[in-house]
């Protein structure tokens, strides 16, 4: 489910802005760390969970404003270099602010411990994450499908010129899209924090998986990204139960296999 | 004498001879190895216009395979280099085949994702690759009676191979193949219309670039006596892209300059501040926002500005 | 175009000659003894490096930064917790700074790679790590191991745990998928046989794992009397937390067979530490004169009790310096020969270096963690309830020949 969140956010950014956002993983990490600081400062996990992703969205806004918007015409290599450089700055910044040590963050007292599902014990917090992430995905999808602005965003993925010809401020669209993508990454990170623990490099692995999800779902296809995220998550869990070592490799192998057969991804249209 | 100075080959030869006086031979070797790696990338990036963000796949795979054979089967150096080129080319063919059908953003993401796949395979296959700890114990066998254990001797070997690879790359880019690749970069549709199978040529560029990267990988493994996991990681991929861009992807020598700048930066700064990747990231950002053409462009802009000042 | 080429080359030349700056010539400082501390400032063990540095510096400063009447030059290098970077930095320090003695790095896998450099460059190398290879299959004349043999650890942990919990016969093992994990697992099972233990399950997890829910579910399904973890650092912390989240502890005891001590325990809450039994290479309440003095000085200087990391660095440095004293020489080979068979009463108590394997034979500590009510201060996490120093039996020793110089 988390993979779907990350994939959705990245798909939004790559689809609308047509930029390889190599900082997406770093945004994920920042979300997690902001959660820890928020919880330490405010003392309440729930408020922290609300606040942290907003912080990341703000960061996304700043990044878009200060840098990305200058690079729309620049060509992918420079966009890549920029976001890659950004990811380095963010990761090192995390180390400077929070230290290089791994931190741990406990779930809120309400969600500690496990639930006896009969056939197995399952941690309460993980159930919570599944539900919340699922809700978020649903909400985002509803926003994109059912609201007018969402429709504009989807149109923007399809055909930017047409949208701007229709008199819609394409720059604002881009900014919102980036901020929204950043928000999704941030909340994915914040939700993950109590599960995996934090470390400055936590964004890197997530980045690769996010790219796989987007590629698998088809570039620019938001629903595809969601579906791909779920598929990948399930595949990984299944493999992990039998052949733990291969569980991460499987993600990429699935992507490679699908792309051999269908180069445009499972649901891609381009 | 002035004419001689204009000739890049002479200057390169001079650089090759003078470098070990300024830095340790090991670092000097690393510079040429990285430059060779960059040459391979630049065929794909600068000349064909494809941003391959997974070059370390070929570099690392070749290093692992050749390293394994050197360590356990005691093959000789020539064979190892051949294996390196072969593995590099083969892995590039596989990756290239999957990727060239896509373009733009898709292409970049795919090269990255496939790079990650190879990385995780290397990470998990600890019995062969050593996983996180790398594959230590890669020997540096003698060739034709010359003992390479001495860093300076090895440096001579490496720099010679580099000059050869540079010459080869020069011939490639000046050949019809090079022109076709550039045509594809400029306007793929038109090139296709004129009858060139763009996908096949892109794949060819990949394979050749992969071969260069592979040879560089083997030399790297022999230089440090170890194949570290990072050799196949995305940071290495990013580094070579950065080095090439900062040197200027528009020229044959761009990757060479970029390699100098990059290795110098990383070696000197990293011993001073542990957080040096931050500076690297800032450097990336600055280069992208202000110095697109890399060092070469910055330099020419500086000279143009200066000469215009002089005129005024 | 020609103009640009010339400028390129000018840049090349300028950079090449002026900027690149490490002198290729070793500065001839014949009086100084250069000692290298390979302590990570970046990467997975970035938090440990500075701690190691503290311990090593303290040991050197105790001697006034000199030995045998000659000044000591202490240099550090960041290996980045990576084999590639560490070996390169080590070589650079050896070639460029004239380092002849190295201590570190912290990661045992990386240390094995560095020890190859030591062998190739003929410099003395001391490190502390969970691998038994360096005193086993990959032993050679130039490297020494400080950490206890996994066998010693297993014996100390299992014997003493069973003394306190004679009825806990069904064990589930959670093992890091790493050479050190496999060794320790092997010995725990060996020693366990003598106690009639039944190993109802054993799972391996990759190093750096943080997602333990699957493993814990499997453990719970086996209904063990005790869960033993064979891992360390972040893995151990994450595992302990997950085991607690699932409700396994504190009902059944959790054993951390090889722990860093304070550094890991402090990351857990008192609730998680309930019914937690820990085996460690060092704990700061160790009852030896050297330890007491060290802890006192460390507390005064840094405001907190020392964990395993600085203590290991401190002890290794002291042991190495004892080698200098005994050899009355600063030549690498003389110090090595002096270390072989040396016996000191130092930080851990009675410590000896086995000449055949270069393994340090010394006590291993077994602790029981305290519940919240028994903690007298925030760092009063556990009590040392036993130590053990049974060395690895000869039939298991994989080091058949330590080799020559």
In this prediction, residue C73 carries a pLDDT of: 93
Between A104, A123, A240, which is nearest C237 by CB?
A104
Between C234, C242, C245, which is nearest A102 by CB?
C234
Between B53, B249, B278, which is nearest A89 by CB?
B278
One domain for residues C139 and C177: no
Q: What is the DSSP letter of B146?
A: B
Q: B113, A212: Cβ pair inside 8 Å?
A: yes
Closest-CA residue of chain C to B138:
C116
Against chain B, the chains showing at least 3 CB pairs within 8 Å are: A, C
A127 at interface of C, judged by CB pairs closer than 8 A? no
Alpha carbons B127 and B130: distance in angstroms, whole number: 6
Does residue A259 lie in a domain region?
A: no
At A61, is the secondary structure helix, strand, or coil?
Answer: helix
In this prediction, residue A170 carries a pLDDT of: 73
C112 at interface of B, judged by CB pairs closer than 8 A? yes
Distance, CA of B247 to chain centre: 12
In this prediction, residue A265 carries a pLDDT of: 65
One domain for residues C205 and C119: no
Q: From the candidates C4, C25, C84, which should be mutated to test the interface with B, based on the most B CB atoms within 10 A?
A: C84
Question: Is the entire prediction scored with pTM above 0.90?
Answer: no
One domain for residues C239 and C264: yes
Most confident of A166-175, A211-220, B174-183, C291-300: C291-300
Residues 6+ apart with CB under 8 A from B163: B12, B13, B16
C137 at interface of B, judged by CB pairs closer than 8 A? no
Length of chain C, please?
405
One domain for residues C240 and C264: yes
Q: C91, B226: Cβ pair inside 8 Å?
A: no
Between B101, B120, B285, which is nearest A249 by CB?
B120
Give the 3-state secondary structure of chain C. CHHHHHHHHHHHHHHHHHHCCCCCCCCCCCCCEEEEEECCCCCCCCCHHHHHHHHHHHHHHHCCCEECCEEEEEEEECCCCCHHHHHHHHHHHHHHHCCCEEECCCCHHHHHHHHHHHHHHCCEEEECCCCCHHHCCCCCCCEEECCCCHHHHHHHHHHHHHHHCCCCCEEEEEEECCHHHHHHHHHHHHHHHHCCCEEEEEEEECCCCCCCHHHHHHHHHCCCCEEEEECCHHHHHHHHHHHHHCCCCCCCCEEEEEECCHHHHCCCCHHHHCCEEEEECCCCCCCCHHHHHHHHHHHHHHCCCCCHHHHHHHHHHHHHHHHHHHHCCCCHHHHHHHHCCCEEEECCEEEEECCCCCEEECCEEEEEECCHHHCCCCCCCEEEEEEECCCCCHHHCCCCCCCCC
In this prediction, residue C136 carries a pLDDT of: 80
In this prediction, residue B87 carries a pLDDT of: 93
One domain for residues C155 and C271: yes
| Minimum distance, in Å, between the CA of residue C63 and any CA atom of chain A | 31
Q: C47, A101: Cβ pair inside 8 Å?
A: yes
Give contacts of B239 with chain C, Cβ < 8 Å: none
Residue numbers of chain C with a pLDDT score lower than 50: 1-7, 9-10, 13-14, 16-28
Does residue A38 lie in a domain region?
A: yes
User: For A33, what's the count of Cα atoms within 13 Å in the CB-facing half-sphere?
Assistant: 25
Q: C19, B264: Cβ pair inside 8 Å?
A: yes
| Minimum distance, in Å, between the CA of residue C231 and any CA atom of chain A | 16
Return the CATH number at C97: 3.40.50.2300
Give B187-198 pLDDT, tens digit per residue.
Answer: 888 888 888 788
Give contacts of C177 with chain A, Cβ < 8 Å: 245
- Given the cut 0.85, state whether the ipTM is greater than it: no
| Minimum distance, in Å, between the CA of residue A181 and any CA atom of chain B | 17
A97 at interface of B, judged by CB pairs closer than 8 A? no
| Minimum distance, in Å, between the CA of residue B224 and any CA atom of chain C | 7
Higher-pLDDT residue of B40, A116: B40
One domain for residues C158 and C219: yes
Smallest CA-to-CA distance from C102 within C112, C84, C90 is with C90
Q: Predicted confidence band at A119 (pLDDT cuts at 50, 70, 90)?
A: low
- Do the bridges between strand C101-103 and strand C124-127 make them parallel or antiparallel, or are there none, so unpaired? parallel
In this prediction, residue C287 carries a pLDDT of: 87
A72 at interface of B, judged by CB pairs closer than 8 A? no
One domain for residues C243 and C387: yes
Which residues constitute the domain of residue C167? 150-280+363-395
Give contacts of A245 with chain C, Cβ < 8 Å: 177, 206
Alpha carbons A137 and A132: distance in angstroms, whole number: 9
Structural contact between residues B224 and B27, judged by C-beta atoms closer than 8 angstroms: no
Whether cis (ω within 30° of 0) applies to the bond prior to B58 is no
Does residue A252 lie in a domain region?
A: no
One domain for residues C39 and C86: yes
- Do the bridges between strand C170-176 and strand C143-145 make them parallel or antiparallel, or are there none, so unpaired? unpaired
Does residue A128 lie in a domain region?
A: yes
One domain for residues C125 and C155: no
Against chain A, the chains showing at least 3 CB pairs within 8 Å are: B, C
Closest-CA residue of chain B to A84:
B281
Smallest CA-to-CA distance from C353 within C150, C145, C138, C67 is with C145
In this prediction, residue C326 carries a pLDDT of: 92
C237 at interface of B, judged by CB pairs closer than 8 A? no
Is 90 exceeded by the pLDDT of residue A268?
Answer: no
In this prediction, residue C23 carries a pLDDT of: 43
Does residue C119 lie in a domain region?
A: yes
| Minimum distance, in Å, between the CA of residue A157 and any CA atom of chain C | 36
| One pLDDT digit (tens) per residue for chain B, 312 residues | 455 445 677 778 888 888 888 778 888 889 999 999 999 999 888 888 888 888 999 999 999 999 989 888 888 888 889 999 999 999 999 998 888 877 777 788 888 888 988 988 888 887 788 777 788 888 888 787 777 877 888 888 898 999 899 989 989 988 888 888 888 888 888 888 888 788 888 899 999 999 999 999 999 999 888 888 888 888 888 889 888 887 877 788 888 888 988 888 787 777 667 677 788 788 778 777 776 655 556 666 666 777 777 665
Give contacts of B242 with chain A, Cβ < 8 Å: 81, 84
Does residue C368 lie in a domain region?
A: yes
| Minimum distance, in Å, between the CA of residue C110 and any CA atom of chain B | 6
Which residues constitute the domain of residue A140? 2-203
One domain for residues C256 and C142: no
Give contacts of C241 with chain A, Cβ < 8 Å: 104, 106
Give A37-65 pLDDT, tens digit per residue.
Answer: 888 787 777 777 888 888 888 888 888 88
Distance, CA of C214 to chain centre: 29
Does residue A190 lie in a domain region?
A: yes
Q: B245, A76: Cβ pair inside 8 Å?
A: no
* Residue that is written with structure tokens 């292409």 in the block: B107
Give contacts of C245 with chain A, Cβ < 8 Å: 107, 112-114, 123, 125
One domain for residues C168 and C264: yes
Does residue C133 lie in a domain region?
A: yes
Give contacts of B265 with chain C, Cβ < 8 Å: none
In this prediction, residue C52 carries a pLDDT of: 92
Q: A123, C267: Cβ pair inside 8 Å?
A: no
In this prediction, residue C120 carries a pLDDT of: 85
Smallest CA-to-CA distance from C223 within C171, C274, C266, C259 is with C171
Does residue C301 lie in a domain region?
A: yes
At A168, is the secondary structure helix, strand, or coil?
Answer: coil
Residue B136 is inside which H or E element, if any?
strand B135-136
The 10 Å Cβ neighbour count of residue C292 is: 14
Does residue C335 lie in a domain region?
A: yes
Does residue C43 lie in a domain region?
A: yes
Does residue C403 lie in a domain region?
A: no
Between C42, C210, C213, which is nearest A123 by CB?
C213
Q: How many structural domains compose chain A? A: 1
Does residue A42 lie in a domain region?
A: yes
One domain for residues C212 and C137: no
Does residue A179 lie in a domain region?
A: yes
Q: How many structural domains compose chain C? A: 2
A11 at interface of C, judged by CB pairs closer than 8 A? no
- Do the bridges between strand C143-145 and strand C198-205 make them parallel or antiparallel, or are there none, so unpaired? unpaired
Structural contact between residues B54 and B114, judged by C-beta atoms closer than 8 angstroms: yes
Against chain C, the chains showing at least 3 CB pairs within 8 Å are: A, B
């Amino acid at each position: 489910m988390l993979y779907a969140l990350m994939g959705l956010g990245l798909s939004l950014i790559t689809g609308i802005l047509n930029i390889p956002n190599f900082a997406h993983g770093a945004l994920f990490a920042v979300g997690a760390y902001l959660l820890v600081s928020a919880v330490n400062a405010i003392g309440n996990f729930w408020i922290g969970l609300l606040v942290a992703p907003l912080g990341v969205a703000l960061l996304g806004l700043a990044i878009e404003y200060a840098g990305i918007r200058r690079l729309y015409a620049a060509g992918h290599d420079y966009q890549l270099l920029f976001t890659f450089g950004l990811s380095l700055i963010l990761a090192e910044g995390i180390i400077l602010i929070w230290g290089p040590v791994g931190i741990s963050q406990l779930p809120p007292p309400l969600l500690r411990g496990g639930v006896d599902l009969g056939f197995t014990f399952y941690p309460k917090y993980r159930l919570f994450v599944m539900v919340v992430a699922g809700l978020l995905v649903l909400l985002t999808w509803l926003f994109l499908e059912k609201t007018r602005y969402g429709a504009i965003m989807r149109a923007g993925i399809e055909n930017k010129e047409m949208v701007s010809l229709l008199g819609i401020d394409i720059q604002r669209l881009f900014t919102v899209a980036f901020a929204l993508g950043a928000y999704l990454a941030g909340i994915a990170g914040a939700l993950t924090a109590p599960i995996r623990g934090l470390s400055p490099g936590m964004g890197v692995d997530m980045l690769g998986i996010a790219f796989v999800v987007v590629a698998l779902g088809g570039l620019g296809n938001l629903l595809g990204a969601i579906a791909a995220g779920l598929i990948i998550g399930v595949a990984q869990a299944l493999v992990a139960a039998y052949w733990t070592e291969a569980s991460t490799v499987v993600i990429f192998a699935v992507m490679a296999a699908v792309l051999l057969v269908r180069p445009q991804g499972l649901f891609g249209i381009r | 004498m002035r004419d001689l100075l204009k000739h890049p080959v002479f200057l390169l030869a001079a650089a090759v001879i003078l470098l070990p006086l300024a830095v340790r031979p090991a670092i000097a070797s690393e510079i040429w190895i990285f430059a060779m790696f960059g040459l391979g990338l630049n065929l794909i990036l600068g000349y064909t216009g494809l941003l391959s963000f997974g070059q370390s796949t070929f570099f690392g795979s070749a290093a692992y395979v050749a390293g394994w054979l050197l360590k356990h089967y005691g093959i000789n150096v020539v064979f190892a280099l051949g294996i390196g080129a072969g593995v590099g080319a083969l892995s590039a063919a596989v990756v290239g085949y999957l990727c060239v059908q896509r373009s733009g953003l898709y292409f970049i993401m795919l090269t990255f994702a496939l790079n990650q796949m190879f990385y995780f395979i290397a990470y998990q296959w600890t019995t062969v690759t050593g996983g996180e700890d790398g594959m230590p114990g890669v020997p540096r066998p003698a060739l034709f009676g010359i003992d390479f254990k001495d860093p300076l001797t090895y440096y001579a070997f490496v720099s010679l191979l580099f000059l050869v690879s540079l010459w080869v790359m020069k011939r490639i880019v000046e050949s019809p193949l090079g022109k076709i690749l550039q045509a594809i970069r400029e306007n793929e549709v038109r090139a296709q219309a004129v009858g060139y199978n763009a996908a096949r040529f892109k794949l060819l560029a990949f394979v050749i670039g992969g071969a260069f990267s592979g040879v560089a990988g083997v030399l790297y493994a022999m230089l440090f006596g170890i194949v570290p996991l990072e050799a196949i990681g995305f940071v290495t991929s990013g580094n070579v892209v950065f080095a090439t861009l900062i040197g200027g992807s528009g020229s044959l020598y761009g990757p060479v300059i970029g390699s100098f700048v990059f290795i110098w930066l990383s070696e000197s700064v990293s011993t001073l501040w542990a957080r040096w990747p931050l500076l690297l990231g800032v450097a990336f950002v600055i280069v992208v926002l202000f110095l697109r053409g890399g060092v070469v462009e910055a330099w020419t802009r500086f000279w143009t500005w200066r000469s215009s000042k002089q005129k005024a | 175009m020609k103009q640009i080429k010339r400028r390129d080359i000018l840049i090349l030349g300028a950079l090449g000659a002026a900027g690149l700056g490490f002198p290729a010539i070793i500065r001839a400082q014949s009086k100084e003894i250069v000692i290298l501390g390979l302590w990570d400032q970046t990467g997975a063990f970035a938090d440990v490096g500075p701690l190691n540095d503290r311990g090593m510096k303290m040991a050197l400063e105790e001697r006034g930064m000199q030995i045998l009447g000659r000044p000591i030059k202490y240099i550090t290098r960041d290996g980045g917790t990576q084999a590639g970077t560490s070996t390169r930095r080590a070589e650079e320090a050896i070639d460029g700074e004239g380092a002849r003695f190295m201590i570190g790095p912290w990661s045992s896998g990386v240390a094995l790679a560095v020890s190859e450099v030591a062998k190739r460059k003929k410099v003395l190398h001391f490190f502390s790590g969970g691998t038994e290879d360096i005193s086993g299959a990959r032993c050679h004349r130039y490297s020494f191991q400080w950490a206890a043999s996994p066998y010693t650890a297993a014996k100390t942990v299992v014997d003493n745990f069973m003394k306190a919990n004679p009825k806990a016969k069904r064990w589930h093992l959670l093992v890091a998928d790493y050479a050190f994990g496999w060794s320790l697992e092997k010995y725990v099972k060996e020693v366990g046989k003598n106690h009639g233990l039944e190993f109802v399950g054993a799972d391996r997890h990759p190093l750096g794992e943080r997602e333990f829910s699957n493993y814990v579910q499997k453990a719970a399904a086996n209904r063990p009397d005790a869960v033993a973890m064979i891992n360390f650092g972040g893995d151990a912390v994450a595992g302990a937390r997950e085991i607690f989240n699932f409700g396994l502890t504190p009902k059944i005891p959790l054993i951390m067979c090889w722990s860093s001590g304070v550094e890991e325990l402090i990351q857990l809450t008192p609730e998680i530490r309930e019914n937690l039994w820990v085996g460690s290479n060092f704990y700061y309440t160790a009852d030896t004169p050297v330890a007491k003095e060290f802890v006192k000085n460390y507390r005064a200087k840094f405001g907190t009790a020392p964990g395993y990391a600085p203590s290991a660095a401190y002890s290794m440095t002291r042991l190495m310096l004892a080698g200098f004293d005994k050899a009355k020489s600063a030549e690498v080979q003389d110090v090595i020969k002096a270390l072989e068979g040396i016996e000191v009463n130092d930080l851990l108590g009675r410590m000896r270096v086995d000449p055949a394997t270069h393994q340090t034979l010394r006590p291993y500590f077994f602790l029981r963690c305290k519940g919240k009510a028994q903690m007298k201060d925030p760092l009063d996490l556990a009590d040392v309830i036993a130590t053990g120093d049974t060395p690895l039996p000869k039939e298991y020793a994989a080091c058949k020949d330590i080799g020559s110089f």
